[in-house]
Amino acid sequence: MAESLLHGRYELIRALKKGGMGAIYTARDTKLADSLCAVKEILEDKQSDEYYQLRFTQEMAALARLDHPSIPRVRDFFRLKGKSYLVMDLIQGISLEEEIIAQGVNPAPKVVRDVLQVLEVLEYMHSHEPPLLHRDIKPANLVRERRGGKIKVVDFGLARTVNAEAQQQTAVGTMGYCAPEQMYGKAEPRSDVFSVGATLMHLLTGEPCDLMALALSEKEGLPNLPEGLGDIVGKAIDFKAAKRYASAREMAAALDRWLVEFGHRHRLSSARVSFSGRTRPMQTLVKPKLPNFWPIAVAAAATLALAVGVSLGKKTQPTATIATTTQTAKARPRKAKRPPVKRNHSVRPMPVGLARRNQPSLPL
Tens digit of each residue's pLDDT (9 = 90 or more) over 51-102: 777 777 877 888 888 999 999 999 999 988 878 899 999 999 999 999 999 9
Give the residue ranges of the chain where pLDDT is below 70.
1-3, 20-21, 44-49, 163-171, 216-221, 264-364
Cross-sheet strand order for the sheet of 22-29:
10-19, 22-29, 35-42, 83-89, 74-80
SS3 content of the chain, % helix, strand, coil (to 5): 40, 15, 45
- pLDDT of 322 reads 42
Distance in angstroms (rounded) separating the CA atoms of residues 347 and 260: 102
Instruction: Give, in order, the Cα–Cα distances in Å from 216 to each of 73, 219, 221, 230.
Output: 41, 9, 11, 19
Q: What is the pLDDT of residue 87?
A: 94
| Residue 152 · residue 92 · CB < 8 Å | no
Consecutive H or E run containing 331: helix 294-331
DSSP 332-346: SPPPPPPPPPP--TT
CATH 3.30.200.20 location in the chain: 9-89
Region label for 33, one of left (φ > 0), alpha (ψ between -120 and 50) or beta (otherwise): left
Query: For the purposes of burial, counting CB atoms within 10 Å of the CB of 276, is it exposed (0-12), middle (13-18) or buried (19 or more)?
Result: exposed
Pairing mode of beta strands 74-80, 93-95: unpaired
Question: Which of 258, 149, 281 lies closest to 200 in space, CA to CA?
Answer: 258
Tell me which H or E stretch contains 76: strand 74-80
> Alpha-carbon distance 170 to 185, whole Å?
5
pTM of the model: 0.68
- Residue ranges of the chain that CATH labels 1.10.510.10: 93-261
Give SS3 for 327.
helix
For residue 64, what pLDDT is reported? Answer: 87
Q: How far is CA 351 from CA 270, 292, 345, 347, in A?
A: 100, 87, 15, 12
Confidence (pLDDT) at 319 = 44
Q: Give the integer Cα–Cα distance in Å for 117 and 111.
A: 10
Cβ contact 241:181 at 8 Å: yes
Q: Regarding the domain delimited by 9-89, which CATH topology (the fold level of the hierarchy) does it fall under? A: Phosphorylase Kinase; domain 1 (3.30.200)
Domain 93-261 -> CATH class: mainly alpha
How does 226-254 read in b/e, with b if 16+ C-beta sit within 10 Å? Answer: beebbebbbbbbbeebeebbebbbebbee
Residue 126: the pLDDT is 96
Counted residue by residue, the chain has a size of 364
